[in-house]
Chains A and B, each alone.
Chain A
Amino acid sequence: MNLEKVIFGFFIILAFTLNFGFFVGELDAIHQHDSFELFAAIVVNLIATVLKVGDRTQLGAVHLSTSLVADLQLLVAACVWGYASFGSPDGMTPKLMATIVSLAGGAMMANIVSVVLLIGETLTQRR
């Protein structure tokens, strides 16, 4: 067992599961989506990105790009949340929440690709 692989896999899966946890629920139901979960998803996604940096293989490059996509979408979602709390005249509205959740949904797709890559990589390994 390789500790590096464990940590790597852990963060990728965790990024995906946290993202999923935030995403589940009615798209525009404000009370079904928690800001803490989005925060955790962003942090774990950032860590996963740093872990993926520096791998020169083709697979490593795709890994990194999926992570960058997820980061981008989640950060935009957080920005929208910030706008809803302090910028928008009506505060958080179902419409804004729908935007946030769909952005997080997009990030989740990127995370799924990342997980699929991880599984694929594991399956092709002979040892």
Chain B
Amino acid sequence: MYNIFFLALRRLRVPLITLILIYAVSMFGLVLMPAPPGQPALDFFHAFYFVSYTATTIGFGEIPYTFSPGQRAWVLVCIYLSVIGWTYTLGSLLALFQDRSFLHALRLAKFTLKVRRMPTGFYLILGYGQTGQLLARALDERGERFVVVEQREERVNEVLLAGYHADVPAIAGNAANPELLQLAGILHRNCRGILAVTGDENVNLAAMMASHALRPRLLSIGRARSLHVSRNMSSFGANHVVNMFETVGMEFRMALRSPSHYRLWQTLTQLPGRPIPSLFQPRAGLWLVVGFGRFGHAVYEALVHQGYAVRVIDEESHPDLPIGVQVAGLGVEERDLREAGVREAVGLIACHDHDINNLSAIATAREMNPGLMIVARQNLAQNRSLFTAIHPDLTVVRSQIVARQTLIAMTTPLLTQFLELMQGYSVEWAGKLEEQLLGLCDGEVPERWALELTAQNKGFVHAFLAQPLPPLRLGDLSRHPDRREQALDCLALLYQYQGHDIVLPQASQQLQLGARILFVGSPKARRLMQWALESPELVDYLRTGLTPPRGAVFRWLAARKQAKPG
């Protein structure tokens, strides 16, 4: 703000000097002009008074006495001079506030000030496209603060219209610029992490490099499209790289191998509050892949890996494919689909990066073979209603995949570990756990949170150090802090202590200081649990069922009562 003030003064230098000169000339002339007979000539004080009210067109009249003709002649000059002077100055001032570069400087100054005053931890979201918006929404629902840097001005304005709970500082600019990143708070002590999800992977790479150089231990998550950029990103620092096409391949392999695991995986990684997706059960047989870009490659490899027969429909020829697998064409016409064998196929995957082509291919194929399983790739969020109407068995949305992966990486490393561990369990186990999760939040995706049993938490200090008996058990944590009989809608997925992982720990599990627990459950359960752990009294109530006496007198009375047996 400080610099803006001087910038404005500097731009207004000429008008201001003109104004000073006009005042000086007017006052000087008034003092010199002969007064009417019997009166003294005007002094500087009265001259300044007169010019001030005349120049601003207030016009009190002739003060302190009726002017002589000479004075009136000079006042005429003053009036025209001062009107010109003020018009010029005000005009320049208004022009200044219309000036794009000045407005940008003003916005930048406001943005910097807002970021500097961020009271709590915040994330830095680079890029406010579809992915950025999903992430922002998810963070906002969790009550987290964030700052947005976006290349395009109109998207920045969308931030203001989005109606987030907290004030979101947003600025238009290139996220690859380290200066801008610093203004956006990358060096701020409350900055918790940087999420580089712009559409340009090179900008993401530059931002992650900047974050690595400026704050090496900051959580940084970057989105990559191509393999070499994603390798480049993971080559430095402790950060996460989200490669959409790799993720798609991985998810699809999981879906083909074990639908239960895939659904569990979806439930644990989806944005909280959305409906849990229905079970996707792919059938064995011939699958058609329409469109063979990077997305198509990823699903093709997953299908081949699983041993399914695959035909690919694509315009360009791909010599790396085995002979007879590819059918030339866009895949939207009957001829292409018939040639690829749509009548005997069990499933079709529309992988074009163009939504209308995908929809067209699906519609044509459905007409020819109504029993076909459909997997659709949706590129633009705005086409959601079209995809809902056509109702594929599985819709893969690019922005959601990236946002989901980013949230996993952000939430807690425990979740990633659990997702890896659960792959080792049987399909029945996954199905049973899935049933439990469905019940937690009435079919909505539950929230995930990690509990670190450290000395930072008042309740844990009390339960582990001040009064270690009776031991705190896992079951105590998942009870209602007001009514102990009532269990909270949550489930412990993973208990980690000194490198040992216990998947789905028992309620009787005794807790140790330094352990970490991954919970899944309703947002309300999360709030209640965190509230309970803030106060030693509630922790005591949870593990004993008794409300300890508060205050010195009552404690003393209770101690006496205990000392007197019977």
A interface list, Cβ under 8 A from B: 35-36, 39-40, 43, 46-47, 50-51, 53-54, 56, 78, 81-82, 85-86
Contacts and interface: CB of A to CB of B under 8 A. Distances in A.
A62 to B, nearest CB: 15
8 contacts: A35-B44, A39-B27, A39-B44, A50-B9, A50-B13, A50-B16, A51-B17, A54-B7
A35 B23 CA distance: 16
A54 B6 contact: yes
A54 B10 contact: yes
A85 B31 CA distance: 15
Contact of B43 (A35, A47, A50, A53): A35
Interface string B443-475: 000000000000000000000000000000000
- Which of A36, A40, A53, A82 has the most B CB atoms < 10 Å from its CB? A53
Contacts of A40: 24
Given A43-B24, A46-B20, A47-B21, A54 B45 contact: no
A115 B24 CA distance: 23
A53 B45 contact: no
B468 to A, nearest CB: 62
A86 B16 contact: no
B93 to A, nearest CB: 14
B28 interface: yes
B13 A51 contact: yes
A56 B6 CA distance: 9
Contact of B9 (A36, A46, A54, A81): A54
A54 B17 CA distance: 14
Contacts, number: 43
A47 B19 CA distance: 10
A90 B82 CA distance: 36
Contacts of A54: 6-7, 9-10, 13
A82 B10 contact: no
Interface in B1-44: 6-7, 9-10, 13, 16-17, 20-21, 23-24, 27-28, 31, 43-44
Contacts of A82: 44-45
A58 to B, nearest CB: 14
A47 B27 CA distance: 16
Contacts of B20: 43, 46-47, 50
**Interface size, B (range):** 10 to 19
B28 to A, nearest CB: 7
A50 B11 CA distance: 11
Contacts of A85: 43, 45
Nearest to A53: B9
A50 B24 contact: no
B45 A86 contact: yes
Given A50-B16, A50-B17, A78 B44 contact: yes
A91 B7 CA distance: 44
A14 to B, nearest CB: 13
Given A54-B7, A81-B44, 12 more contacts: A36-B28, A43-B21, A43-B24, A46-B20, A50-B20, A53-B9, A54-B9, A54-B13, A56-B6, A81-B45, A82-B44, A86-B45
Contacts of B28: 36, 39
Contacts of A39: 24, 27-28, 31, 44
B13 A53 contact: yes
Contacts of B44: 35, 39, 78, 81-82
A43 B6 CA distance: 21
A47 B23 CA distance: 12
A81 B43 CA distance: 11
Contacts of B13: 50-51, 53-54
A109 B422 CA distance: 81
B7 A47 contact: no
A82 B43 CA distance: 9
What are the 5 tightest A-B residue pairs by CB atom distance, in nearest-first order? Answer: A54-B10, A43-B24, A53-B9, A82-B45, A50-B16
A46 B23 CA distance: 11
A78 B16 CA distance: 21
B504 to A, nearest CB: 63
A53 B6 contact: yes
Contacts of A46: 20
Contacts of B43: 35, 85
Contacts of A53: 6, 9-10, 13
- Which of A39, A56, A78, A81 has the most B CB atoms < 10 Å from its CB? A39
Nearest to B16: A50
Nearest to A79: B45
Contacts of B16: 50
Contacts of A47: 17, 20-21
B128 to A, nearest CB: 32
A78 B10 CA distance: 27
Contacts of A78: 44
B40 to A, nearest CB: 10
A26 B400 CA distance: 85
- Which of B7, B23, B24, B27 has the most A CB atoms < 10 Å from its CB? B24
A81 B6 CA distance: 32
Nearest to B13: A50
Contacts of B10: 53-54
B10 to A, nearest CB: 3
A109 B23 CA distance: 26
A113 B21 CA distance: 25
A7 to B, nearest CB: 10
Contacts of A50: 9, 13, 16-17, 20
A59 B175 CA distance: 34
A16 to B, nearest CB: 18
Contacts of A56: 6
A37 to B, nearest CB: 11
A76 B21 CA distance: 20
